[in-house]
Each structure stands twice: as C-alpha cells, then as structure tokens.
C-alpha cells in the first residue's frame, strides 16, 4: 500500500547513518586496540590512521543522526513514532530540544554526541595515550550505537530505533487507510513536567558529565593494560576535575528543575534516579583526592585505580537502574521499560568484567608504599575524607538498589512468597537517608576545613595551631551566634537529630571560613592556586544552604479558613497545610494577605495559569506569583502542577496548586427559587439569611453592556452566613425597548446567585439559586525557604573551584612537557 503524505527520506537517511556509526565505531575500536600492540605508536602507524578515519566517520554519522532526528521532531513528522510520542503542534519551540532527550533513544544519542566531542579532543591532545584511551571510548560508542540500532540478530531485537514509523508500531484501524496521516491531528506532547527551561539545559550538561567520566576511566584502563601504572594520573587528573565540575553542576541543575517543576516542596528527595547520578560523583571526587595524594607523596595509587574505575562503572549501573524500568514505581525520573534490560545489563558487564579482571591481575604490580602515613600529614586526612565519601556513596547505592535486590530475590523465590519478604527503606525514606548523611556532612565540613593547613608527610602541632587556630575559634564563635539567634527549632525527628543539624551548620561554616582564610594564610593570596580552597568553600556553602533551608523550611499556607478542598485520590497533601482561596476574596496567610485574582488558559492545551497576589500585612510590599497546572491531561486524571516562587536574597516564597474545582463535577443542576419580597424582608436559605436593604431605579448606570436610554433597577441584598460573615449582592434588571434583561450577581463565598426578575412598586421578584458550580477557588501549598540561595551560590562556587584546579593542572602539565622537550633538545 502506498501511503499518502509520508516523508520517508529522513528516516531512511537516519537508519543509514545509525548503521554506519555502528560499523565505524566497531572498526575504530578494533583498529585502536591493534595499534596498542605496536612498539611505536605514531602518526605513521597504519592502524592509528585507520582508527582515526573510522572515528571521524562515526562522528559525522552520529551528528547526522542527531540532526535528522531533530528535523523530524521540529517539523512534526508524526508518521515517525518518536515525533508523535514526544512532541505536539501546541508545544512551544523552546521545548523542542527537550522532546529530543525525553525518550531513551534521544538521550543515548546525546550521550554519544558528547563522546564524539571528547574523543576529538583526545585525538588532538593525548599523544602516546591516544590508542589505548580511544579504544575504550570507541567501544563505548559501539555499545551506545547498538542502543539505537533497532536491528534483529538471530531473531533478537538489538536497541530501539528512533526512526520507526508509527504505523509499524501501533495497531489501529486508521493505519489500514493510505491517508492515515489526515486522521492524526496532533502528537502526544512532551511530558508536562518537562516543559520547563531547565529541561532544555540540564540534560545536555548532565550527559556531558556522564560522558566525560569515561576519560579518566579510560586512562586508568590504559595504565593497567600498558603497565604504565604511574604516568596515567597526570593526563587523567584534569579530566577528572572537569568531570566533577560538569557532573556536579548538572546534578544541581536537576535539583533546580525539581525545585521549579515538582511539588514535593524542595530540590532533593533522595529519588533513586537522583541518587544513581550522585553516587558516581562522590566516588569521582574521592578519586580526585587520591590522585592528588599520589602526585604529592606516591601513596594511594591502588585506591586511585579503584575509585577511578568505579566512577564510570557506577555511571553504567545508574544507566541500568534508570532505563530498565526497575525503578518505575519508585522514581518520577526513570525512563519507561523498552524491553532492553538484557542489553543494558550486557552494556554494564562488558565494562565491569574487563575492568575487574585487569585490576585484580595487576593489583600486586601497582606501586605501593607499605609504611603507614603519619596521622599529622595532609595525605592521611585527605584519604580519610575519600573514605567518608565512599561510605556515603555505598550507603546511598545500597538503599537505592533495594528494588534490584527485591527483583532478584523474588525471581529466585518464584511462587513461594514465604521464602522472601521484599525489603523496604521505611515510611519516611527521606529521613532514612538523612540520618546517615548528616554524619557525612559533619565529617566533610571538618575535614575540608583543617586538612589544607596540614603539610604532606608530617605537620608540627605548633605550625598547625598557628595557621589553623584562629579560623577554628572564629567559626565556633560565629556558629554559636547563628544557632543562638537563628531559632533552630527543627523537631520533626527529635532533639538528637536537631543537635546533629546544629553541629553540621557549625562545621559547614567552619569549612567556608577556613578555606577562604587559607587562600591568604597558606597560599599568600595566590588565587590561581586556590582552586581546591574555592571548591571546598563552595561545598561548605552548599551544605550550609541545604541544612538551613531544609531545617528552617516553613509552611505558610496553614488552613485558617476551615475550607477543606478535596486533594484527589492518592494525594499525600495534608488539608491542614493547604489554604483554599475563593476568587477575589482577600485571605490571611501568615504575614501576608493573599488573593486569587484571576486565571487564564493556554490556547491549545488544558494548562491553566493562576494569578495569586501576595501583600504584606504591613503594607511594605506586594507581589504576584503565577503557578500553573495541567488539568486531566493526556489521560492523567488530576493535576500536574508547576510551582512559582518569589526570590529574595535571604529566602524564597514558593507556592503551587494542590486542588481545583473538578470541571467534570462542577456542573450546575440546581434551579432558581423565586421569592417576592419588599425592603426590609429577610429570607432564610440553607447557609444563613439575606435581607433586601435597598431598591434603586436609575436611567443612567455605568455598567458593561448598558446603553443610553436603558432603565436599570438595582436591588441591594445583604447576605448573612451562619459563620457570621456578611456579603452584599446587587442583581440588576434592565428595561430596554419594553424587554427585560437580567444581570445576576453572585456571592461566591456562599455559592449564591441572585436574579432581579421583576419590580412592582416597592416589591420585587427575586430568583435565588444555591449552586456548587459557581464557586471558583484554588488551594495552595506555600513554603518559605530561608537562605536557599546559599545552595545555588555554593554550587556555582564549587564548580568554579573545580575548573580553576583543572586549568592549573593543565598548565602544570604543559610546563613539565616543555621542560622535558628542552632537556631532550
């Protein structure tokens, strides 16, 4: 059958370049590996030349696939499943890139693009390390290419192809028609939670971090394979610092996305996907510190190999966790299962097994100093810090891997459920993590503070106290003042945990002050050499921001009105912590008067924006927040809300929608009840009473829709509710050319509608209707996050510190290379 309107050329080209990248990456892997066998590895080496040609071909192919897929998405070619599944005609152009990496295929491709960029740099700069390092990178590229191949080998599907046609993947009657595209009016759209500018920025940075971790890993593998156990650290260290900066920055961009898009009231929820990305960073930072130990003392080389290898292997493990579907019930970030579990596991094992074998085989050959370090030496405490980060990472990954353990144990238990009871973290999973990591925060705060004041190999006590004594005393003084005047009253987990938080705050402050002081005390103001101190101070600032913003977080939206709106099935929101605002009614909330002013709708999708005005009760400031929410979108019943926040230097006011009137149930089925009353008469209704106070007839009334010559009768009706509140309604009856027009008035708070139907002298005929359809309200959750900007500023400073260290290490390496060339000449 010939289908009408299909544009098949992009898909054919895309499939061609996928196969080409698959073949080219395999060829580059083989050629680079064979070149490592040569005794002289230079530009004349035929295998190196072939490998470079193959890798450049692969780069071109991957970039071509990327460009073609984006063309399909941006032009809304819905004959392709990927475009239909992840985009829509109503999607703003600024989110089209987010569509690209919403799916697994696009995110694998993004990862591969970064490998191409990094590989080109290695080819340009790595010199004698090019062949063994690029063997590893090219093999990783081959594995990633299989993930998007979508080919069948011996009846088994390998990968998921982004260029498959919708009609080949779905069964529906329309696909039996040659003009089926005329029936597809729009795509499935991007997940509403991903329609945020951070999702355009965060994934590319995060995947650059993921991709870059392979470079120090590849250097470690190359060091083992070529038996150059010592030399690999010098070229690997700048890459490790780069990876730590980018991966850490990407993680915190994800935290900012969660803060601005999700509604759990924070930026980090110990979600399994968050954890799986954090753990490799912790191990990588441990490895950076042991690299520095080795370069200064010759110690910790074995540990450096271990940490460097583990960092990338844990990247692959996190890939398995997030893409296998195994976390589907426990994470909002995980990808859906595409049936690639075996392939993902094989991807992991293809790196784990060779790396483990190489490390075990060469372990005893790796140079090692048997004598223990002095407890007063810098390297001793740096290694202790690396172990603390390792303990943190191990505890996080064990708790995160509980779904994996349950799956494996459940498989072996089979139908006999008595053999195994599924493991669980506990009802309060957040505290389960926090009660361990609070000790990590304390330890890291102290270690990053005093370790730099120590000398390598041995430090005298007088020297240490002279240099480090006053930062300790000043930190204790400032920390004590902060705790005394800061009203630390976090009591959710008891007094013991509050004490630990207070200690951690003091230690974080010490880390900041001690590291900033070291720039002048230890480095004599040499900012170019202060990358480590800057990174440590930034990390201390991050810890301080996390501790204060989390422990001092306040809920402002305490329900003082008594109105309890339905939160929806499965909601974990507590009605007492959510305030319902009736449209137009000024309501008290903590130190603010809050008013639900108006709302507006997206022109092409069920996305509603709510204008909420906040006014300080002292009258000093007024501001407006506009949280939005998708209502019953794409088969998802209920709300998908995006928060909004007002940012101050010392706190944020953060709000999101938790409840709205159900449009399906908010239909008016009640009838008007007609009453004849005169001035002063009082009538009862189910919620109270109302009285006709005044009746006025005017020839000219300033109101919308009235014309010259209209005669308007206005009834002023006073409503008294059972809770002693009073309201006023003024229905209008217009007489125009002997015809009557009714302008009802509504008392939203009491769900009352009044119609002035007829006027006879002093008597009126009024229609009253009590309706549950007329109430317009929003229910809000509002938080106050104190000093949360410390977290974001600390993140930026930490990343800058890593990059400063990277630049310094590159310069040092360049100077040593120049010295060696001079000696050779």
**Cα gap 357→363, rounded to integer Å:** 10
Q: Taking the C-alpha atoms of 61, 64, 68 and 70 in order, what is their torsion angle to the nearest 10 degrees?
A: 110
Rounded average pLDDT over 423-433: 78
The pLDDT score that the predictor gives to residue 330 is 56
Three-state DSSP state, 685: strand
Q: Tell me if 237 sits within 8 A of 291, measured CB to CB.
A: yes
Q: Tell me if 654 sits within 8 A of 782, measured CB to CB.
A: yes
The pLDDT score that the predictor gives to residue 639 is 82
Tokens of 734: 């217009």
**Burial class, 485, CB count within 10 angstroms (exposed 0-12 / middle 13-18 / buried 19+):** exposed
With a CB cutoff of 8 Å and minimum separation 6, the contacts of 415 are: none
Winning range, highest mean pLDDT, from 575-589, 650-664, 761-775 = 575-589
Distances (CA, A) of 495 to 88, 307, 488, 501, 604: 52, 37, 11, 10, 52
Least confident of 68-72, 459-463, 486-490, 603-607: 486-490
Flag whether pLDDT at 820 surpasses 70. Answer: no
Distances (CA, A) of 246 to 3, 252, 253, 281: 46, 10, 10, 10
**Cα gap 825→817, rounded to integer Å:** 12
Least confident of 284-288, 389-393, 476-480: 476-480
Between 605 and 283, the more confident residue is 283
Give 819's pLDDT tier (boundaries 50, 70, 90). Answer: low
**Cα gap 191→345, rounded to integer Å:** 27
Q: Tell me if 272 sits within 8 A of 321, measured CB to CB.
A: yes
The pLDDT score that the predictor gives to residue 824 is 46
**Cα gap 409→118, rounded to integer Å:** 40
Residue 784: φ, ψ to 5°:
-120, 120
Flag whether pLDDT at 396 surpasses 50. Answer: yes
Three-state DSSP state, 140: helix
The pLDDT score that the predictor gives to residue 329 is 56
Q: Tell me if 190 sits within 8 A of 95, measured CB to CB.
A: yes
Closest of 144, 19, 166 to residue 79, by C-alpha: 166
The pLDDT score that the predictor gives to residue 633 is 72
Between 173 and 818, the more confident residue is 173
Distances (CA, A) of 562 to 558, 559, 580, 719, 784: 10, 6, 9, 20, 22
The pLDDT score that the predictor gives to residue 269 is 84
pLDDT digits (tens, 9 = 90+) for 204-244: 999 999 999 999 999 999 999 999 999 999 999 999 999 99
Q: Tell me if 776 sits within 8 A of 594, measured CB to CB.
A: no
Closest of 751, 753, 687, 777 to residue 723, by C-alpha: 687
Closest of 11, 184, 173, 179 to residue 87, by C-alpha: 184
Closest of 736, 738, 737, 742 to residue 765, by C-alpha: 742
Residue 638: φ, ψ to 5°:
100, -155
**Burial class, 731, CB count within 10 angstroms (exposed 0-12 / middle 13-18 / buried 19+):** buried
- Count of beta carbons in the 10 Å neighbourhood of residue 777: 17
The pLDDT score that the predictor gives to residue 470 is 85
Closest of 437, 395, 444, 433 to residue 289, by C-alpha: 444
Rounded average pLDDT over 176-188: 90
DSSP structural state of residue 332: S
Three-state DSSP state, 316: helix
pLDDT digits (tens, 9 = 90+) for 291-349: 999 999 999 999 999 999 999 999 999 999 888 877 665 555 555 556 788 899 999 99
Least confident of 153-157, 308-312, 437-441: 153-157
Rounded average pLDDT over 599-614: 87
Three-state DSSP state, 428: coil
Three-state DSSP state, 779: strand
Q: Tell me if 213 sits within 8 A of 284, measured CB to CB.
A: yes
**Cα gap 229→197, rounded to integer Å:** 44
Between 142 and 373, the more confident residue is 142
**Cα gap 159→41, rounded to integer Å:** 35
Flag whether pLDDT at 437 surpasses 60. Answer: yes
| Residue written as token pair 């085989």 | 361
Supply angle C-alpha 36, 42, 46, rounded to 5: 75
Distances (CA, A) of 387 to 384, 391, 447, 653: 5, 6, 12, 38
Q: How many CA atoms lie within 13 A of 149 on its CB side?
A: 22
**Cα gap 10→74, rounded to integer Å:** 13
**Cα gap 669→470, rounded to integer Å:** 76
Q: Tell me if 753 sits within 8 A of 743, measured CB to CB.
A: no
Rounded average pLDDT over 705-713: 72
Q: Tell me if 82 sits within 8 A of 70, measured CB to CB.
A: no
Q: How many CA atoms lie within 13 A of 499 on its CB side?
A: 3
According to DSSP, the residues that pair with 726 across neighbouring strands are: 720
Give 420's pLDDT tier (boundaries 50, 70, 90). Answer: low
Supply angle C-alpha 785, 790, 795, rounded to 5: 120
Q: Tell me if 35 sits within 8 A of 129, measured CB to CB.
A: no
The pLDDT score that the predictor gives to residue 41 is 47
Rounded average pLDDT over 570-586: 85
């Amino acid at each position: 059958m010939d289908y009408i309107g299909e544009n098949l050329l992009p898909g054919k080209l895309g499939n061609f370049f996928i196969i080409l990248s698959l073949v080219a990456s395999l060829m580059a892997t083989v050629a680079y590996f064979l070149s490592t066998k040569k005794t002289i590895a230079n530009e004349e080496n035929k295998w190196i030349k072939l490998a470079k040609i193959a890798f450049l071909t692969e780069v071109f192919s991957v970039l071509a696939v990327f460009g073609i897929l984006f063309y399909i998405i941006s032009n809304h070619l819905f004959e392709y499943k990927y475009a239909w599944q992840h985009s829509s005609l109503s999607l703003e152009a600024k989110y089209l890139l987010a569509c690209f990496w919403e799916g697994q295929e696009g995110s694998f491709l993004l990862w591969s693009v970064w490998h191409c960029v990094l590989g080109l740099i290695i080819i340009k700069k790595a010199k004698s390390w090019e062949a063994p390092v690029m063997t590893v990178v090219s093999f990783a590229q081959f594995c990633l290419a299989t993930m998007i191949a979508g080919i069948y080998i011996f009846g088994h599907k390998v990968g998921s192809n982004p260029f498959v046609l919708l009609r080949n993947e779905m069964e529906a009657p329309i696909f039996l028609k040659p003009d089926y595209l005329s029936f597809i009016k729009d795509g499935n759209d991007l997940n509403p939670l991903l329609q945020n500018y951070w999702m355009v920025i965060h994934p590319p940075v995060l995947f650059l971090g993921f991709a870059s971790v392979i470079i120090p890993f590849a250097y470690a593998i190359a060091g083992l394979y070529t038996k150059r156990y010592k030399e690999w650290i010098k070229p690997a260290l700048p890459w490790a610092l780069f990876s730590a900066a980018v991966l850490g920055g990407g993680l915190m961009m994800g935290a900012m996305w969660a803060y601005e898009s999700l509604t759990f009231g924070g930026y980090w929820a110990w979600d399994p996907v968050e954890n799986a990305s954090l753990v490799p960073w912790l191990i990588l930072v441990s490895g950076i510190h042991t690299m520095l130990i080795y370069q200064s003392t010759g110690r910790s080389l074995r540990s450096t190999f271990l940490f460097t290898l583990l960092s990338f292997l844990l990247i692959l493990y996190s890939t398995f966790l997030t893409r296998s579907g195994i976390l589907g019930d426990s994470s909002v970030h995980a990808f859906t299962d595409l049936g690639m579990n075996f392939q993902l596991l094989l991807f992991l094992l293809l790196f784990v097994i060779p790396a483990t074998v190489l490390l075990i085989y060469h372990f005893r050959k790796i140079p090692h100093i048997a004598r223990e370090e002095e407890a007063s030496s810098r390297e001793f405490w740096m290694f202790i810090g690396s172990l603390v980060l390792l303990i943190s990472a191990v505890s996080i990954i064990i708790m995160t891997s509980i779904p994996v353990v349950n799956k494996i144990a459940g498989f072996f238990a089979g139908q006999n459920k008595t053999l195994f009871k599924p493991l669980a973290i506990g009802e309060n999973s957040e505290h389960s993590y926090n009660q361990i990591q609070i000790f990590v925060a304390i330890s890291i705060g102290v270690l990053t503070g005093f370790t730099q004041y120590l000398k390598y190999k041995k430090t005298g006590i007088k020297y240490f106290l002279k240099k480090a004594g006053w930062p300790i005393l000043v930190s204790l003084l400032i920390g004590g003042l902060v705790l005394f005047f800061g009203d630390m009253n976090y009591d959710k987990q008891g007094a013991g945990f509050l004490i630990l938080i207070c200690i951690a705050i003091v230690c974080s402050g010490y880390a900041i002050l001690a590291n900033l002081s070291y720039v002048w005390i230890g480095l004599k103001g040499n900012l170019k050499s202060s990358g480590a101190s800057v990174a440590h101070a930034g990390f201390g600032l991050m810890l301080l921001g996390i501790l204060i913003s989390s422990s001092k977080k306040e809920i402002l939206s305490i329900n003082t009105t008594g109105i309890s709106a339905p939160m929806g099935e499965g909601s974990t929101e507590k009605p007492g912590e959510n305030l319902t605002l009736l449209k137009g009614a000024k309501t008290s909330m903590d130190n603010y008067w809050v008013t639900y002013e108006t709302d507006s709708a997206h022109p092409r999708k069920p996305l509603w924006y709510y204008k909420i005005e906040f006014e300080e009760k002292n009258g000093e400031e007024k501001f407006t927040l506009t949280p939005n929410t998708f209502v019953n979108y794409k088969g998802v019943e209920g709300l998908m809300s995006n928060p909004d926040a007002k940012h101050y230097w010392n706190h944020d006011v953060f709000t999101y929608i938790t409840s709205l009137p159900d449009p399906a149930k908010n239909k008016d089925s009640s009838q008007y009840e007609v009453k004849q009353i005169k001035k002063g008469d009082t009538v009862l209704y189910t919620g109270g009473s109302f009285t006709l106070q005044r009746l006025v007839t005017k020839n000219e009334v300033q109101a919308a829709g009235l014309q010259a010559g209209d005669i308007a009768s206005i009834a002023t009706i006073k409503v008294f509710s059972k809770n002693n509140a009073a309201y006023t309604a003024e229905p209008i009856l217009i007489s125009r050319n002997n015809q009557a027009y009714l302008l009802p008035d509504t008392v939203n708070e009491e769900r009352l509608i009044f119609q002035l139907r007829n006027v006879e002298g002093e008597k009126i005929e009024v229609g009253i209707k009590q309706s549950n359809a007329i109430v317009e309200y929003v229910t809000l959750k509002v938080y106050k996050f104190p000093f949360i900007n410390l977290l974001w500023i600390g993140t930026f400073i930490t990343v800058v510190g890593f990059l400063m260290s990277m630049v310094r290490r590159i310069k040092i390496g360049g100077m040593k290379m120049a010295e060696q060339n001079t000696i050779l000449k």
